[in-house]
Amino acid sequence: MESIISLVLTTALLLGSPGPAPLALAGVGASFGFKRGMGFLSGILCGLLVVIIAVACGLGTLFMAYPTARLFCQTVGIAYLCYVAYKIASAQGGISGLHGPAPSFKDGFILNLINPKAYAAFLAIFANNILVLEDPFVSVIATGVVCFVVAVIVDGLWMAIGGSLRPFFSKPVQARWLRWTFSGALLASIIITAIQ
């Protein structure tokens, strides 16, 4: 039981700390609302599931053996995260009447699929907090399932927090400042992740 609690807390801290995915979720929630952002949230979670599976299957070892592949993936990831920040910042109108579509399932899926922070978090989790069960294969699956359940809760909370800000930013000027704030925070998190 102690190892599960440790895994849950570690996963919640790593995934819940401000980074590209949480800030994008909060920005989408604030700009488009929870309901319109559900496709983006679903994409984020599906992308994260792919990351969990890739890390569990040994992606970290591949990146250690081929640093150029890791650098390429990070560069593509940073470019796409910048695109998502732009999409949040460039929406037009007040929060209650935004023009244009909310970021989609595809946007969320790609964001987390190429999010360097997601890979770093799960490399750390699988290196230090894997559940120890009788069968090593079951240990990896159980660890992944616990991580994914925590991710669903944490990511949903980030988008709900963003959505709760909508009533305070109903005018176009206020809405623009909110979108720019989330976009700026997203860009800052991208820079911090790239430096690390």
Backbone dihedral angles phi then psi of residue 104, each to the nearest 5 degrees: -95, 180
Domain ranges in the chain are 2-195
Cα dist from 111 to 33, 105, 119, 174, whole Å? 19, 10, 12, 26
pLDDT at 171: 67
Backbone dihedral angles phi then psi of residue 187, each to the nearest 5 degrees: -65, -40
Written as one letter, the residue type at 125 is: I
Written as one letter, the residue type at 192 is: I
pTM here? 0.73
pLDDT in tens, the chain (196 residues): 788 888 888 888 888 877 778 888 888 888 788 888 999 999 999 999 999 998 888 776 676 677 787 777 777 767 777 776 777 677 665 544 455 677 889 989 988 888 877 887 888 788 777 888 888 888 889 999 999 999 999 999 999 988 888 776 666 777 777 778 777 777 776 676 666 5
Distance CA 183, CA 194 (A): 16
pLDDT at 118: 84
pLDDT at 92: 61
Q: Kindly report the number of other CB atoms within 10 A of residue 149's CB atom.
A: 12
pLDDT at 190: 67
Distance CA 148, CA 7 (A): 11
pLDDT at 6: 85
